[in-house]
Structure 1
Amino acid sequence: MKHTAAATSAVLLLLPLTACGGTAEAGDGSTITVTVGYQSKTINTVTAGTLLRSLGYFEKQLDALHDGHTYKVDWQDYATGAPITAQMTAGKIDIGSMGDFPLLINAARGKQLGKPTRLVSVTGYNLRGGLNTIVTSPDSKLGSLEDLRGKKVSTSIGSAADGTLVRALQRAGLDPDKDIEKLNQQPAVGASALAAGSTDALSQFVAWPGLLAFQGKAKALYDGAQLNLPTFHGVTAREDFAKKRPAVLEAFLKAQSEATDYLTAHPVTAAEKVARATSLPAEVVYLYNGAHGIATFDPAIKPQLVSALKEDVSVLKSAKLTGDVDVDAFVDDQYVRKALGPTYTKRLAATPAPAASEVWPKGATTTRTFKSPAELLSYVGKHRSGIRAAYVPDATTGTLWFADQAIWVTDGDQLLPFVAPSTAQSYVAEHGGARVITYADALERAS
């Protein structure tokens, strides 16, 4: 009996720490732990993860609540969205961030297990789908999606990168289930497989394609922006947590907005902060998160992103990863609307600025933009030893890419960059006199 009573007392003592899942509390004046799951390497979630954590904005917002509680933030870093979803449905993570396809799985699992979650804000997005890219090895002879017939392609099933692969192959007239051998691998495993020659191509999300291209370990085969379908990353919260602690969730969303404004105002510094935290090259982080990067950051849940999410459901259903998902029920913008106040409507209507050619000089804390790719090439040609990175937007999709990794086309007086060989060839086919040239030739012509 004494042992039983002692055990019961111990359980009762522990209950306040676990009853609310990720939130530990013990009455007024207690310490409440808010658990945030994020993905440091998925750098389009940085305003709700890596960058936000480094800036300390969430902690400052919590300190400003003055509600009688002391708050502690437990930041938990994961490689993918799946374990974040598992921890959320187990009541152990309060707020998480992940890509669009994992968000749908988050919604489906939450409903299935009776632990509903809600999409409460957006982090990084690209309205054309440019955050996902299919790459091949640098010496590959593959030049188009049609060339993948009978080949091995690595991707992460259930990710946005897999969605891009499926849709791209279908548009090219290939059956994703029959015409290729799909390898379901984590990004790092797929990258190693590509380097070893055990896969012919790799379809992945940010920042893997840019990283491999920057390292000279891959070249682009397909630009996800060719699909012209939005892809994005967002913030999800447990419904029970949001209802019990709305002020805490709003504090997080205010902090996310502050981190977004910081990234916009200080893109180079922000890239370097994220690079230090993730061990990714700052040049790669800037490709996606820079002033004219592939991603646009805004917490507002734009209608076109919600529409894209609804279209994504069919891809996950065909892969038997989810059933139907009630996207409208999953999306809940009441908290971000309250957090951002009058600015929310303005953010909702804002459109991404067009991409621009940009150079990051060595030792500089700011970048230089140019009116055209040709002007950028002219500058690079005169300062070759002083260039940290040079970026140019694809002439048809606007996707930013490294200038020395782009496919260059000369057309009269124009020098036009493309991410993928197929888009360059399509342009050449439609413009008499245009032809593909090397990067060295492009630099020479620009000088």
Structure 2
Amino acid sequence: MPKERFDLLSLQEAMDILGVSRATIDRWRKDKKLPHIKIGKEIWIDKNKLQAWVHLHSRTQAEDQEARKYESAASSSAQVITVGYQSGAALLWSTLVIKSLGTFDEELRISSPSTEYKVRWLNAPNGMELVEQLIGGNVQIASVGDYPIIASRALSHILSRFNPLFLAFDGKTRNGGGISLVVPSRSAINRPEELSGVAIATVGNSSASYRLREWSEAFGITSEPVEHRTMGECLNGIMAEEVGASVLWEPYLSWIQSIGAGIPVLSEGIGGDYLTGLMADGNWAQGNEDVVIAYLKAHLRAHDFIRNEPARAAKIISDASGFPVAIVAGVLSQIRWDASLYNRDLQTLNRLSEVQSDRLPARSESRHGEGFALGKHYLQNAAEALKLPGLPDTPLPGEWSREILY
């Protein structure tokens, strides 16, 4: 039968697998973008796409339980440190390794054995939400992409009490690798130029939306409207074929290709590297240097673990994030795990800041021209404590080195 050849489930078969009623599955099709295909009056569901959709939505309950656990801990006498992270952003997966292996807790015990700390972890859907938490004092250390990094810098020019501090880089990919425009697999679109007039979904105010703007200018794409969604909703939009294209970052990019639901039409950026890093509240960091250095030691250890034990790292990240281990392993190998500061990285951030200056809050005259606030000495102290080769006071020159990795 045709449905067997295409590995399709009838609506009743899908209801039986999920154990839900017709009313529930109809609501999920409408509200949660459950992928489906309508042929005449019949509704079919692709088995592989259903599995991916279930993985995507099954993590919510566990995360809610974890949040309640840490809320109760906050009422104790321990000093609470909140670390913001994004399990859905592959270039920031080092945080999942730190959390799963308990290396930050371990380094805190080493640095301050007489102080009781409680580490709280906040999983956010995007980096700008973590920037808001930094501004509000609810998060002390956050893992974010390059757009939130430069947005923090811009916001500090109009929020006098906000003092964002850049601590270290995290995952890096060359020339924008790791973010791509993706169209549904049955789309007739083959080139970026053909996307004009097509609805494109992206995460608003993110590294993805910044790349979309660059691509649009480079290829003359005029897309109205651009739909701002979560990354999961961008993925679902392609799977359900309800948008013409979505900007996906890893691991969503590899995942949608693995199930045959989407095809990248643009795999590289327009000249700029894709960078991520650690931000902290600078005012808090000044009074908590031991804590900052302890986290950076855990950060450097996570990078070393991912580089030298990729199979174990992939299993840990898969368990923590819900993404298939094969997808995680493939993505990890494409990322440069390197905390160190290169001139090329700072130039990329400054270029991004200049390009986005008309989209972000204007600088006040008193702080005009300031560069990024860099906590270089924290990273240097962390490297020294781990007996790693010393980092210089100035950014590293030249291209990324295969030997100099932190």
TM-score bracket, normalised by the shorter chain, equals 0.7 to 0.9
Matched, 1:239 2:310: no
SS in 2 for 1:128: helix
Residue 389 of structure 1 corresponds to: none
In 2, distance between residues paired with 1:331 and 1:84? 19
Cα distance change of structure 1 residues 278 and 71 upon mapping to structure 2, 3 Å threshold:
same
Residue 284 of structure 1 corresponds to: 327
Cα distance change of structure 1 residues 75 and 183 upon mapping to structure 2, 3 Å threshold:
same
| Amino acid across the alignment from 1:43 | A
| Amino acid across the alignment from 1:300 | S
When Rg is computed on C-alpha atoms for both structures, the one with the higher figure is 1
Matches within 5 A, 1:9-408: 31-47=78-94, 49-66=95-112, 68-113=114-159, 114-172=161-219, 174=220, 178-225=222-269, 227-290=270-333, 293=334, 295-318=335-358, 320-324=359-363, 328-341=371-384, 343-345=389-391, 348=396, 351=400
CA RMSD across the alignment: 2.5
In 1, distance between residues paired with 2:252 and 2:129? 20
| Amino acid across the alignment from 1:132 | I
Q: How many residues align?
A: 320
* Offset, 1:79: 1.2
| Residues 46-71 of structure 1: per-residue CA shift (max 9 Å, x gap) | 22x21110111111110001453122
| Amino acid across the alignment from 1:182 | V
* Offset, 1:138: 0.7
In 2, distance between residues paired with 1:328 and 1:344? 24
Cα distance change of structure 1 residues 171 and 335 upon mapping to structure 2, 3 Å threshold:
same
- Contact residue 89 and residue 109 of structure 1 kept, 8 A: no
* Offset, 1:24: 7.9
- Contact residue 156 and residue 187 of structure 1 kept, 8 A: yes
Q: Give TM-score, length-normalised by structure 2.
A: 0.73
* Offset, 1:25: 11
| Amino acid across the alignment from 2:81 | V
Identical columns (%): 20
SS in 1 for 2:265: strand
List alignment gaps of at least 5 residues for structure 1: 1-22, 355-447
* Offset, 1:331: 2.9
- Contact residue 164 and residue 224 of structure 1 kept, 8 A: no
| Amino acid across the alignment from 1:57 | T
Identify which of structures 1 and 2 has the higher relative contact order when contacts are C-alpha pairs closer than 8 Å and 6+ apart. 2
| Residues 312-337 of structure 1: per-residue CA shift (max 9 Å, x gap) | 1244334x243358672333322112
Cα distance change of structure 1 residues 35 and 258 upon mapping to structure 2, 3 Å threshold:
same
* Offset, 1:278: 0.6
In 2, distance between residues paired with 1:220 and 1:125? 20
SS in 2 for 1:98: strand
In 2, distance between residues paired with 1:201 and 1:24? 42
In 2, distance between residues paired with 1:87 and 1:112? 17
Cα distance change of structure 1 residues 148 and 300 upon mapping to structure 2, 3 Å threshold:
same
| Residues 142-199 of structure 1: per-residue CA shift (max 9 Å, x gap) | 1111111221111122211122222122222x1x5x4553222211122222223321
Q: Which moved more, 1:269-278 or 1:100-109?
A: 100-109
Cα distance change of structure 1 residues 192 and 327 upon mapping to structure 2, 3 Å threshold:
farther
In 2, distance between residues paired with 1:300 and 1:32? 29
Q: Which moved more, 1:273-282 or 1:198-207?
A: 198-207
SS in 1 for 2:280: strand
